[in-house]
Amino acid sequence: MDTTDTTKGSPSTDPTEVAMGLIVGAGDARSFCLEAITAAREGDFDEARDLLEKAVQAMVETHEVQTQLIRDEMTGTPSEVTLLMVHAQDHLNLAMITREIAEELIQVYERLSALEGKEHAPHCDDL
């Protein structure tokens, strides 16, 4: 998620653009997590891990924007708090929670697969 203003080459400070960037980045991360859960349910653990890594990458960029907003506020340059920004923060929080749940579900599906004897679950810790 890049909120860089391409005409100026610097990060956008427009509150609407920043909020929409957070929403898009968080939405991408959440979608990758849900796809990862589906892949794990179908027994495709390598694909599940790849999708989870894509989610992590989407979250890194999005979280960096959020961290900068917090830094700005702490140094005396707060962002305008709008309903859209609150909505964006909600999307970001939901994406972070979805990632944590996806990580757990992938492990559960790996263990279930190993217990059912369908295939060896390569990332399965002690059963």
Catalogue the active-site residues: 87
Q: What is the separation, in whole angstroms, between the first and last Cα of the chain?
A: 38
d(CA 16, CA 85): 8
Write the DSSP symbol of residue 5.
Answer: E
Instruction: Decide: 32 and 52 in contact? Cβ < 8 Å.
Output: yes
